[in-house]
Each structure stands twice: as structure tokens, then as C-alpha cells.
Amino acid sequence: MSVIIDTDPGIDDAIAILYALGNPDLNVVALTTVAGNIGLSVTTQNAGRICALAQVDVPVHAGAAAPLGKEARPETGIHGKEGLGGVAFPDPIYPVASDDAVAAMIQILTEHPPHSVDLFCLGPLTNLAMLLEQAPDTAHRIRRVIAMGGAVDEPGNVGPKSEFNIVHDPHAAAAVFAAGLSLTLIPLDATRQLRANMDYIDALRDADCAASIASADLIAAYFAATNGAESRPLHDPCVPLFAKHSNMFRIEPRDLDVDIATGALVAGPHRIDVAMGLDADRLRAALLSGLSY
């Protein structure tokens, strides 16, 4: 399975990327970056640092520096100024491949057979919306989009019904929802069920691999502003975990749209597959196994 990971690393992005890079069934052909959790220069640098830690040569393409039609609003309070919670990562080994993520997507999708490349969206959907605007036929060569974002029945995390990835660029999310792509959305309704405790961190450290130790440190940083029993939700790892273990998620079709003013998901005309639940115990075990390389 060939995969483009569109990302704004980000603590939980980093864990998701490390899991995907170590999975032999996921052929990650590129990382495309977007401003979201932190500014574009930092997310792009972090993507290269994650590849360096995993010791892989995956091209990194810088993408959108700001959302469509509004200003960026980073989340440094959660992820830290450098985006990775203060966890030490090596410097990138390779230079950034390009500063045009959309052009890179177009090239990859054109060079691969139709419907043979998945797109994992771990951040705001700006790059995908720009791809749809610039090359809609090429965008429809994507096999499926798996995106973390939104809140359906759960409360939001940046507003009463708003989740960060969607509210950061609601115009982009609305365009993606309307595009008719094969889209699976993994909202807070599912991701809030996947958390880690200190025993899990110890198990990651006991695996004694670069990816598992780094992930343990990242999750430890995710305990800030909690009661200490469990980490913040492991939102973004749900995306590659769904790609590998869709049977561990409860998928429901929902008719949705995006309220541009608030970034909230509302009832609308677009039928989307939505993960409304997951098997947390089995997914934690799968994540631990996938990070032990």
C-alpha cells in the first residue's frame, strides 16, 4: 500500500508517522507538511527529524503555510514551541525535497496507477483542498483519504463542537467533504478512547527501539495538564492504525458538512464514513508492536 502522509508534527503526529514508517505494509512515498500544530517551517523540520530517527529516506515536501481565508492558530501550549514536546530528535539527514507539496502530490498520483495511493491526513486539510482546486482529476486518483478531525457527538477541543484540525481550516475541510473522495473521518468520538498510561510508556521503553523510546517520551510529554492517570488522546496514530486494523474501529455513515463560521461538523449532504468507536486495548497492543522496530 503506497501512502502519502500529510502532517503538521506535532506530538501525536510524530507517533503516527513513526508507526507508519516502521510498517512493512505501508510504503510511505512522501511526507507533505502543513501549518497547524505549529508553523510550517517547524512542521517541515520536524518531519525530517522524524525520518532521521526512523533512519528512512522519505521525501519531505513543504506545503501550505496558512489556512484558506484565515490566519494560522498554532497549538504551542500542547506541543511546545518546537512541536515535539521537548523530546530530542536528530537533525534531518536529507534536505527538504521541495516547497510545493501539491505539485509533489500531483506527480506521485500521476506516476502511480489510479487508486493505488492512500492519503493519511493528520492535520488541517489545506494541502488536499489545494490539490482539489488545482488538479481535481488527479485528486480523484487517490484510493482513499483517512483523516483525523472533527467532533460528531462528542464536545470539541477548541470550541463547544469544534476540533482543532477542522477549525484551523474549515474552508479546506468543507471543500474536501464536498469533493466525493473516498473519505474515512476519525473524529474525537473515536480518538478520545485511545489513551496511554504509565505502564504503557514503560512497555514502550522496554521494547528498547529508537521509535518506541521516542514514542514513550512523546506520550510522557502528553501527560501535561492531565490528572496523571492517562495521557491526552492519541489522536493521529488512529489514522495509520485504521489503515492496518480497520476491523478494530466502528464505522458509521454520517451525512455531514462543515460550519465555516465555527469549524463544527453539522448535518449536511455529504455521506462520509466516520469512526465512532474503537477497540482501545487491541489498538494499543498493535501500536506497541508497530513501534518496536
For the chain, what's the residue count?
293
Q: Answer yes or no: 61 catalytic.
A: no
* 260 three-class SS: coil
Residues facing residue 162 across a β-bridge: 264
- Give dist(CA 136, CA 141) in Å, integer: 9
Q: Are 138 and 231 in contact (CB under 8 A)?
A: no
Cell of 32: 507533505
- Give dist(CA 242, CA 237) in Å, integer: 9
Closest CA to 45 of 57, 28, 33: 33
First to last CA, the chain: 19
Q: Are 46 and 83 in contact (CB under 8 A)?
A: yes
Backbone φ and ψ of 275, nearest 5°: -80, 115
* 5 three-class SS: strand
Residue in the structure block whose three cell numbers are 514502550: 204
Q: Are 233 and 192 in contact (CB under 8 A)?
A: yes
Residue type, 149: G
Residue in the structure block whose three cell numbers are 527501539: 209
What separation in angstroms does the CA of 79 have from each of 22, 34, 156, 232? 23, 15, 18, 11
Of 61, 79, 168, 235, which is the active-site residue? 235
* Bridging pattern class, strands 27-33 and 60-62: parallel
Closest CA to 128 of 111, 145, 152: 145
Show which residues are catalytic. Answer: 235
